[in-house]
Amino acid sequence: MASNFRSYIWDPLLIVCQIVLMQCIYYSFLGLWMAGVDSLVQSSKSLDQIFSYEVLGFATMQGRLSMMAFILNSLTCAVGLWFFIRRGKQCLDFTVTVHFFHMIGCWIYNSHLPSALSWWLVNVACMALMAVIGEYLCMRTELRAIPVNSGPKSNL
């Protein structure tokens, strides 16, 4: 007799909705973090900060602050994984999917694949942070103790 504890039913509509939700979380919170960075240095807001390869760099203060916004966004998205995905086994999948679609968006925006080493380093670091922290949070929730004595006591 097979146990159906935590059985997983493949639901493509749920998966697509979760992917769209995670993309929305990624870009909305990245926009908020970038707005916070822009308010610190009083710089102009543009889509280049999110999609351009040249903005992320170690040489300028704006580049370092943009990197900080991307790293803070990965922490925010890890919390999004915890709230909406809820499965530690799926955190890496959704993290790679979010960053893959971001790379496709950057490719379309710039008309060529990323060539800046700093862009690759930041995105790989953000991917690792988002996956590891999201998985940690989900696993903590999954491994909570299940209360055994939750029902009324009976004296037999």
Between CA 93 and CA 150 the distance in angstroms is 35
Contact yes or no for 146/99 (Cβ under 8 A) = no
3-state secondary structure of 134: helix
What confidence category does residue 1 fall into, taking pLDDT thresholds of 50, 70 and 90? Answer: very low
The pLDDT tens digits of the residues spanning 78-93 come to 999 999 998 889 999 9
Between CA 49 and CA 55 the distance in angstroms is 6
Between CA 13 and CA 68 the distance in angstroms is 34
Residue 60 has a CB neighbour count (10 Å cut-off) of 12
Per-residue pLDDT, 39: 86
Per-residue pLDDT, 59: 86
